[in-house]
């Protein structure tokens, strides 16, 4: 069977005068996780003002992968900007929402991680906590971002509880799983058409999936950093690629 083509929207890297022009970038760990699972990764430029080109790209895709990155702009879910909302990327928001609209329209498989679960929820009509620590007083620590002193991205920060009878539960094969955690935003109001499939101990939604049979799986952690050591995380990618190949 031909290797499926998986689209990955990029992120804007602003210009630095005298060093580089503005660029579109994407982390290589995401690309490698897809390649190793058998996909052909297609890195997508941010051209929200050229829908014809975006549609032409989409028509060549077999699946959409949404990655981590900067915060989703709160204007996308009609909320004022919180002081702790971080850097945003309007073009990336627009392109990923466009890709999701295409994917939902044609039932194309979708896998989303970290920021990806957030933009999926927003695209489907949900809202976000702009900063979990500030807006959810009872929340545990979720923002285990790498530092020069502790650069690891595979640190297992906390457990999640996986709901039985879900697609995610079938993929992971366990009801309690240890995950890494590098986020400060999270789902607040869950969108119609999505159902939660995993929770952190403090009740924060850690995974969602579609409700109509389409392959839509989204997680708040970073499985691309764990796929080499945890079989369940590897299966997140292989089942997605199998769905795209079909």
- In tens, the pLDDT along 6-35 reads 999 999 999 999 999 999 999 999 999 999
Instruction: Kindly write down the DSSP assignment for every residue of 63-123, as one continuous string.
Output: EEEE---SBPPGGGGT-PPPTT---B-HHHHHHHHHHHHHHHHHT--EEEETHHHHHHHHH
So what's the pLDDT on residue 206?
98
Q: What tokens does 153 get? A: 């991205």
Which of these, 65, 2, 9, 69, lies nearest to 237 by C-alpha position?
65
| Catalytic site positions | 114, 222, 224
Split at pLDDT 50, 70, 90, the class of 41 is very high
pLDDT category of residue 148 using cuts at 50, 70 and 90 = confident
pLDDT tens-digit profile of 207-216?
Answer: 999 999 999 9
CA dist 132 and 191 (Å) reads 18
pLDDT in the model for residue 2: 86
Strands 176-179 and 11-13, by their bridges, are: unpaired
Q: Residue 7's pLDDT is what?
A: 98
- pLDDT value of position 147: 85
- 231-246, pLDDT tens digit by residue? 999 999 999 999 999 9
The H-or-E segment that residue 232 falls in is: helix 231-245
Structural domains of the chain, ranges and CATH numbers in brackets: 5-245 (3.40.50.880)
Give 94-146 pLDDT, tens digit per residue.
Answer: 999 999 999 999 999 999 999 999 999 999 999 999 999 999 999 999 999 98
Query: Chain-wide mean pLDDT for the chain?
Result: 96
């Amino acid at each position: 069977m031909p290797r499926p083509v998986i689209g990955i929207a990029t992120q804007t890297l602003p210009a630095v005068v005298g060093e580089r022009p503005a660029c579109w970038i994407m982390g290589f760990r995401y690309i490698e996780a897809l390649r190793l699972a058998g996909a052909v990764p297609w890195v997508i430029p941010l051209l929200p003002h050229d829908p014809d080109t975006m549609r032409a790209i989409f028509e060549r895709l077999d699946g959409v992968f949404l990655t981590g990155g900067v915060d989703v702009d709160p204007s996308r879910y009609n909320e004022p900007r919180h002081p702790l909302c971080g850097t945003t990327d309007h073009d990336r928001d627009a392109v990923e929402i466009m890709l999701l609209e295409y994917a939902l329209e044609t039932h194309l498989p979708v896998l989303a991680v970290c920021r990806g679960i957030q933009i999926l929820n927003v695209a489907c009509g949900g809202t976000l906590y702009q900063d979990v620590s500030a807006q959810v007083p009872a929340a545990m620590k979720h923002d285990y971002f790498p530092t020069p002193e502790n650069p690891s991205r595979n640190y297992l920060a906390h457990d999640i509880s996986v709901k039985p009878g879900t697609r995610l539960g079938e993929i992971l094969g366990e009801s309690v799983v240890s995950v890494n955690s590098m986020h400060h935003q999270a789902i607040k109001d869950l969108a119609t058409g999505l159902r939660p499939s995993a929770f952190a101990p403090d009740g924060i939604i850690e995974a969602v999936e579609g409700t109509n049979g389409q392959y839509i799986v989204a997680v708040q952690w970073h499985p691309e950093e764990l796929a080499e050591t945890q079989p369940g995380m590897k299966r997140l990618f292989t089942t997605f690629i199998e769905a795209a190949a079909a």
